[in-house]
Amino acid sequence: MINVGIIGGSGYTGVELLRLLLPRTDVSIRFVSSRAHAGTRVDEQFTSLRGHCDLEFSDPATINQAECDLVFFATPNGTAMHQAPALLEAGVKVVDLSADYRIKDIGTWERWYGLTHTSPAWVERAVYGLPEINREAIRSADLVANPGCYPTTVQLGFLPLLEAGLVDTKSLIADAKSGVSGAGRAASVPTLLAEASDNFKAYGVSGHRHLPEIEQGLTFMSDSPIDLTFTPHLLPIIRGIHATLYAPLKSGVSASEEELQALFESRFKSEPFVDVLPSGVYPETRSVKGSNTVRLSVLKPQGRNTVVVLAVEDNLVKGAAGQAVQNMNLMMGMEETEGLQGLPLLP
């Protein structure tokens, strides 16, 4: 039995962590914190948990974090960098679902997030929590920086092509779409039903905070400079990300669609949460709803020079809480898939 805590448990990521952790008999949740809801029952805020959770939200100032083996930070950017170091120095492992420890270059992080980083020493020690790349490092990590939702689909989609050195890394394009839950639970005009429903639009075209995280990861895969055009869009759905990725083959490189299919199947054959679909089958967001699975398909339309990869995930599961639990399992020496075998919801 391991003891865990959740700091910032009143958002969509927090309730998703609870949904995944509460049924487990090998995990005990010691606290769920929320300044806004301190003293109220968790299942009053999230009625889906009635009968499964008798915890009250705790004030972060009063919780005994030392009771835990591992703590999740499901907090806004800029919170974990203040609070995580004390936990880590006390021997508590941390999975941070915010962006505080994802980007290794402090100056880059500060430019994109508009904050001064208060624990840069831990940035260097943090392990980026994409198990399909860093599995062994995650096993021995004290601090894991859980990837963003867009970065997970984009990086996994490009991964086999970059590792094999097949594509021009200066001409990559990611055309990605997310459901409204990716914006969080706080009220805002763009995510109101009357604004987001029956509508489709791009945002962050001039620069999105996930861009430096994605480019950092892609550079690590390829050991070559990366030039990525990343355009996010808002879908009128609650959960799900669909990314269409474009990568031109290098000059002089020849690869048929059959060869690309074999490359993807070989790279991900041992990955429990990456599903490469058969040739000619395209992934749908609803096929991963509620699950920790990323589904991919790879194509070479019209036999031309551009490889197209389609990738889908549930942004709250593999894009956030599910991947965090996957990382927890690895960090604590548990079976990696424990608590994450649930089937997707359909319809």
Cβ contact 150:243 at 8 Å: yes
* Sheet with strand 274-276: strands edge to edge: 201-202, 228-234, 172-178, 241-248, 306-313, 294-299, 274-276
131-139 vs 210-222: helix axis angle to the nearest 10? 80
What tokens appear for 226 in the block? 């990366």
Alpha carbon 149 to chain centroid, angstroms: 4
Dump the DSSP string for 100-147: TTT-S-HHHHHHHH-S--S-HHHHHH-EE--HHHHHHHHHT-SEEEPP
For tokens 């009771």, the residue is 67
Q: Is 53 designated active site?
A: no
Helix axes 131-139, 149-163, angle to 10 degrees: 100
CB atoms closer than 10 angstroms to residue 126: 22
Tracing tokens 């669609």 back to the chain, one arrives at 257
269 CB-near residues (< 8 Å, 6+ apart): none
- What is the chain's Cα-based Rg? 20
Q: How far apart are CA 298 and CA 226, in angstroms?
A: 20
Q: Which of 149, 166, 218, 235 is catalytic?
A: 149
Rounded Cα distance, 29 and 105, in Å? 34
Cα separation of 137 and 9, whole Å?
27
> Can you read off the two tokens belonging to residue 323?
């991947």
Strand partners, 234: 178, 201
- Residues 227, 169: contact at Cβ < 8 Å? yes
Q: Of 221, 209, 207, 214, which Cα lies nearest the Cα of 243?
A: 214
Q: Which residues are catalytic?
A: 149
